[in-house]
Amino acid sequence: MRLEPGPIGDLSDVRALTFDIFGTTVDWRSGVSAEAKRLAALTGVHADWERVADAWRATYVPSMDRVRRGELPWTNFDRLHRMSLDQVLRDSDAEGLDVAARDELNLAWERLPPWPDAGPGLARLARRFTVATLSNGNRSQQSALIRYADLPFQRLLSAEDFGHYKPDPEVYLGAASALGLKAGEVMMVAAHKSDLRAAQAVGMRAAFVERPLEKGPAGGADLLPDPDADVQATDFLDLADRLGC
């Protein structure tokens, strides 16, 4: 969808932008499936690896919900993904991957390609705002991914810092506090409308960035418009334009 330039509300109080990572900043689907294909070629295991990536990603929210309900103690992102991988491979008839290959595949979440506009867009946005991650990924995973993707984030904030997963309010409020700001001085940037609504519920501002290919060519990603967002953009460069960077 092409967006025409239009007026946005008063955002003069916004001093920092916090970014969702998986799907918004990096392309998790192509990165995970490419790593799975590489490992499969070494081991001779055959499967529809895009489908495996989709199935693995689908375990993400249910796994976090187990932590929220107290069925699991605090368990970081890497561990949750590794716990769910065995079941995903079993359901996909891809159990031939041995333990070493599975452990290596779990590291795929540290080796994801950024969307082409992510790096240059962040660089422009950083001229005016503090740009920080705000991801459910744990700190070590985020650090490795940011290095791999060469993303110019100035701060790294993780759900692990707060002992909660998005969309729990503690994550958003904790991020604002960690940045030394009020909630209204921070804007959440995400391709997922539910993430933005949760951020807005605690007083943060919201920027929706469309990633139509996040879930592959078959669709399923959140799309423009998002009239409830303070800003809507087609990518990070468009967001920089709209925010005057």
- The CATH number assigned to the domain with range 29-110 reads 1.10.150.240
| Cα 11 from Cα 25, distance rounded (Å) | 22
Q: Is the peptide bond before 120 cis (omega within 30 degrees of 0)?
A: no
pLDDT digits (tens, 9 = 90+) for 166-208: 999 999 999 999 999 999 999 999 999 999 999 999 999 999 9
- For residue 12, what are the CA distances in angstroms to 16, 111, 142, 241? 11, 36, 29, 15
Question: Looking at beta carbons, which pairs linking 141-149 to residues 24 or more positions away fall under 8 Å?
Answer: 141/76, 141/77, 141/78, 141/109, 141/110, 142/21, 144/110, 144/111, 145/21, 145/26, 145/109, 145/110, 145/111, 145/112, 148/110, 148/111, 148/112, 149/25, 149/26, 149/112, 149/113, 149/114, 149/118, 149/119
**For the chain, what is the mean pLDDT?**
95
Give residue-wise pLDDT tens across range 20-46. Answer: 999 999 999 999 999 999 999 998 999
Q: What are the structural domain ranges in the chain? A: 16-27+114-242, 29-110
DSSP three-state, residue 210:
coil
Q: For residue 147, how many other CB atoms are within 10 A of its CB?
A: 10
pLDDT at 43: 87
- pLDDT tier, 82 (very low <50, low <70, confident <90, very high otherwise): very high
- What are the C-alpha distances in Å from 121 to residues 15, 78, 184, 189? 17, 28, 22, 12
Q: Which CATH architecture has domain 16-27+114-242?
A: 3-Layer(aba) Sandwich (3.40)
